[in-house]
Structure 1
Amino acid sequence: MKSFFTVIGGMGTMATELYVKMVNQKTPATSDQEYLDYILVNYSTIPDRSSYIMDPTKPNPLPCLQEVLTQQSQLEPDFFTLTCNTAHYFYQELVKTTDIPILHMPALAAESIQAAPSTRVGIIGTEGTIRNKIYDPFVEEAGYTVVHPSLEIQQKVSILIFDKIKASNDLDQALYYEILDEMFTDFNCDVLLLGCTELSLCEDATPYPHGKVIDPQEVLAERTVELALKNRQAKA
């Protein structure tokens, strides 16, 4: 393949499947040959990112991420995508592993907000993503106010991500809407960022109708297609 990208996925697998679907749907193709060339690495056995971030005695996912980047770099893709929000906690270490660019999903999502400077941007995701402020610097740099969930809302988000979606593929629409309702109403959010790809599954299945929701995984898919088409044209 002259021009291709590599997806480092499997964190979780169903969310990675959604990302691939988004990429394919956003590709302006009218024949098999017009779709994009890519390699999907569904590395599902990488240790849980949030668990390690919250408790460093747990298995560390960083060596696994570094190993797979080193392996895949030998194939010389144009760029990598990393379909896990929490894994971007390790981004600065990961870019030292390879000379090949890695798209930064949180940074791209923050760039896509495009709202007034006074906008209050709520972020929901794993406890590791929220506590370690993986999104905060990018949102603040864009001039917006970051709004974190309360402990009670965070507990609901964790239940939805880990107990519902990851454990049994249960996209609990009622709980998803309840969480977003509280963020928009109780915390006066103007925009809400879905800082976990499991939440992308909920939004894709039952889009929230009462407020502006930005799905970083969809933003990543859009940027993936844009960059892949640009690279393909350059190498044609």
Structure 2
Amino acid sequence: MTKKLGIIGGLGPMATAYFMRRIIELTDAATDQENIEMIIYNCPSIPDRTGYILGTSEESPLPKITELAHNLEHANVDYIAMPCITAHYFHDQLADSVFIPVSNGIKEAAQYIYERGITKVGIMATDGTASMHLFDSVFKDYDIKCLYPDEAGQKQVMSLIYDDVKAGKPVDMDKFFQVKSQLLEAGADIIILGCTELSIVKRDNEVGPKVLDIVDVLAADCVKKCAKARPECDNLITEV
């Protein structure tokens, strides 16, 4: 019997829709009834996470995120996921506010990478995620080193996220491959797409080998917790 999944979404909307799609694709279901029941709050009005973390906005997203979690709790979901990695900055506070387990995509990614013997990763993520070292704070416990783009490269990552995906415009893949090459040349074994907007880049474009999408990790975790997983859940890193 499948469990009920609650999703705090809208951060952003397209990434939330893709997250739901990946959950369905990774679920080993032969009938409609074997798929996961989901309650999704697509709430794009949640204040910008990066702006608050960096101090350019005084409006915290946490109260609205917590309100949605409580709504999901009252709807009797068994597991909660939040397909926004920058918002994982608030994960512990959110998890403490409800009695239902809340998926931690960063911790799941660390476990996935550790099990495959990878020790050095390149991170493509928002300024907020990078500046607060959200990945480093977890990955250090697994002896995994995180590498980040230089200042110019980080600006290209933010442009991909905000100027292209969030703005609904075509993605400039030259920017993507410049950053990817920089991180691989710096010694990264794989590249982590550490922002759900970058998952849309991978959805619509060929990103090449050695890429791990954080949305895939989060979706696989939800499937394993709530239903029966397909074998693809154990093969999430792109190959040649």
State the Cα distance separating 1:99 from its structure 2 match: 0.7
Q: What SS class does the counterpart of residue 167 from structure 1 fall into?
A: coil
2:221 counterpart residue number = 223
Distance 1:76-1:126 versus aligned 2 partners, 3 A rule: same
Contact 2:39 2:72 in 1 (8 A): no
Contact 1:22 1:221 in 2 (8 A): yes
1:55-89 CA-to-partner distances (Å, cap 9, x unmatched) read 16432101111111112211121010010000000
Amino acid at match of 1:7: I
Unpaired stretches in structure 2, ≥5 consecutive residues: 229-240
Contact 2:120 2:147 in 1 (8 A): yes
Distance 1:173-1:2 versus aligned 2 partners, 3 A rule: closer
1:40 and 1:71 map into 2 onto residues whose CA distance is 11
2:98 and 2:167 map into 1 onto residues whose CA distance is 33
1:149 and 1:140 map into 2 onto residues whose CA distance is 19
Contact 1:108 1:216 in 2 (8 A): no
Contact 1:109 1:215 in 2 (8 A): no
1:17 counterpart residue number = 17
1:99 and 1:56 map into 2 onto residues whose CA distance is 32
27-36 or 44-53, larger mean C-alpha shift: 27-36
Contact 1:122 1:191 in 2 (8 A): yes
1:205 counterpart residue number = 204
Q: What SS class does the counterpart of residue 95 from structure 1 fall into?
A: helix
Report whether the alignment pairs 1:136 with 2:136: yes
State the Cα distance separating 1:182 from its structure 2 match: 1.7
Amino acid at match of 1:189: A
1:234 counterpart residue number = none
1:172 and 1:102 map into 2 onto residues whose CA distance is 34
Contact 1:4 1:77 in 2 (8 A): yes
Distance 1:73-1:169 versus aligned 2 partners, 3 A rule: farther
Give the TM-score, by structure 2 length. 0.89
1:103-135 CA-to-partner distances (Å, cap 9, x unmatched) read 001110111113446x32111100000000111
Contact 1:5 1:38 in 2 (8 A): yes
Amino acid at match of 1:222: A
Distance 1:14-1:57 versus aligned 2 partners, 3 A rule: closer
Report whether the alignment pairs 1:190 with 2:213: no
Identity across matched positions, percent: 31
2:7 counterpart residue number = 7
Give the TM-score, by structure 1 length. 0.90
Distance 1:56-1:91 versus aligned 2 partners, 3 A rule: farther
Q: How does 1:1-236 map to 2 (within 5 A)?
A: 3-55=3-55, 57-113=57-113, 114-116=115-117, 119-185=119-185, 187-209=186-208, 211-229=209-227
1:145 and 1:88 map into 2 onto residues whose CA distance is 19
2:234 counterpart residue number = none
1:189-222 CA-to-partner distances (Å, cap 9, x unmatched) read 111111100111112222322x411111101111
2:172 and 2:137 map into 1 onto residues whose CA distance is 30
